[in-house]
Amino acid sequence: MAQSDDRGTGERALVTGAAGFVGGHLWRRLLGDGVEAVGLDMVPSRRGIPEGARFLQVDIRDGEAVRRAIAEVRPTVVYHLAAQASVVVSMRDPVGDVEANVIGSLQLARAAMEHGARRFVFFSTGGALFGAPEVIPIAEDYPAQPESVYGASKLAAERYLALVTRGSDTELSVVRPGNIYGPWQDPHGEAGVVAIFAQRMLANEDCTIYGDGGQLRDYVYVEDVVDAAVRAASHEAATCNIGTGTPTSTRRVFDVIATNVGYERPPILAPERAGDIKQIAQDATKARALWGWAPQVAFEDGIARTVEFFRTQRA
């Protein structure tokens, strides 16, 4: 595969999903590092466009538009975060989910390979690939058994991307994050419990816990995930879990945010939602060994920063 003539003169990055939560952080981090980083998303960015940066409004399901965007940017690295990222929506519209997460990802990778990208960093999931593991934290080689269309499409994309990039000059790194939280997460979705609780507690509204509050998740701060993405592009190409390895219960999430906010209402307890898994946490030993990555932001600290962000947003 031909390589870009401009290799070596500096990195050109394309960040897909740049209007979203994690992509928005990653895009700004790269720009801050002096990387020529172009953002791409199918919707305009609610955070706006950083000064001097370029943003392309493209739907990755549109193959022709994807090829035009890649030909224009000729990225050396593609950070692919654009996704239909909702488990609930994936069950309601499986075809749409596959179109975005599998076909869209492949169209992007094929175009990036044609234009000599050296690395394709794919954001998969650490939580939705494995069903309900008996023992946590789990390593990357734990048998995949997705229980949602979203998990299945991420797994399929991982596998197709590995096949199409095999033997080419475009190396594939796969990032499998746990539950990401932090500033700018959408508090209006059905996922993202930290953003939802923070927003509701600051408004002194009721917060609902589904089940007994004992469900365990691996909460990882968004800046730590962004750091992992940067390392996934610059270190050895690999598939790595990105999590703290420490499971946190929903009840503890509630309590830590409540303490930060000074919220005094008890949670509303509602029946468990179908498909909610009991426990998941990622063992990130491999990311530490290959990418030199380790989480830097402790849960209490990350929560304090997140609450502060939502407090400022309200003011």
Ligand X SMILES: NC(=O)c1ccc[n+]([C@@H]2O[C@H](COP(=O)([O-])OP(=O)(O)OC[C@H]3O[C@@H](n4cnc5c(N)ncnc54)[C@H](O)[C@@H]3O)[C@@H](O)[C@H]2O)c1
Secondary structure of residue 171 in the 3-state scheme: strand
The answer to whether residues 148 and 90 touch, using CB atoms and an 8 Å cutoff, is yes
Asked if 28 and 87 touch (Cβ cutoff 8 Å), the reply is no
The C-alpha atoms of residue 216 and residue 279 are separated, in whole angstroms, by 4
Q: Residue 218, interface with ligand X (CB under 6 A)? A: no
The one segment of 29-37, 78-86, 229-237, 291-299 that binds ligand X by CB under 6 A:
78-86
Least spacing, CB of residue 155 vs ligand X, in Å:
12
Residue with smaller CB distance to ligand X, 15 or 307: 15
Q: Which of 14, 83, 109, 113 binds ligand X (CB under 6 A)?
A: 83
Nearer to ligand X, 260 or 282 (CB): 282
Q: Which of 106, 190, 202 is nearest to 153 (CA)?
A: 106
Say whether residue 47 binds ligand X (CB under 6 A).
Answer: no
Spatial distance between the Cα atoms of 71 and 5, rounded to a whole number of angstroms: 13
Minimum distance between the CB of residue 148 and ligand X, rounded to whole angstroms? 12
| Alpha-carbon dihedral 70, 150, 134, 270, rounded to 10 degrees | 130
Closer to ligand X by Cβ: residue 102 or 201: 102
Residue showing tokens 């058994």: 145
Residue 142: name the closest of 133, 153, 155, 152 by CA: 133
Q: Which is nearer to ligand X, 6 or 72 (CB)?
A: 72
Is 59 a binding residue for ligand X by CB under 6 A? The answer is yes
- What is the token pair recorded at 257? 């945010």
Q: Annotated catalytic residue: which of 79, 142, 150, 160?
A: 150
Q: Interaction with ligand X in 158-217: which residues (CB under 6 A)?
A: 177, 179-180
CB count, 10 Å around CB of 276?
A: 12
Report d(CA 171, CA 106) in Å as an integer: 14
For residue 82, state whether it binds ligand X (rule: CB under 6 A). Answer: yes
The only residue of 55, 79, 120, 123 in contact with ligand X, by rule CB under 6 A: 123
User: Does 37 participate in binding ligand X (rule CB under 6 A)?
Assistant: no
Q: Rounded CA gap, 258 and 204, in Å?
A: 10
Measured from the CB atom, the residue of 98 and 256 that comes closer to ligand X is: 98
- Segment 3-32, which members bind ligand X (CB under 6 A)? 17, 19-23
Pick from 48, 51, 47, 16: nearest CA to 31: 51
Shortest Å distance, C-beta 85 to ligand X: 4
Q: C-beta of 57: minimal distance to ligand X in Å?
A: 8
104 or 266, CB closer to ligand X? 104
Is residue 150 part of the annotated active site? The answer reads yes
Q: Which amino acid is at 119?
A: R
Contact residues: ligand X, CB under 6 A: 17, 19-23, 41-43, 59-61, 81-85, 100, 104, 123, 125, 177, 179-180
- What is the set of active-site residues? 150
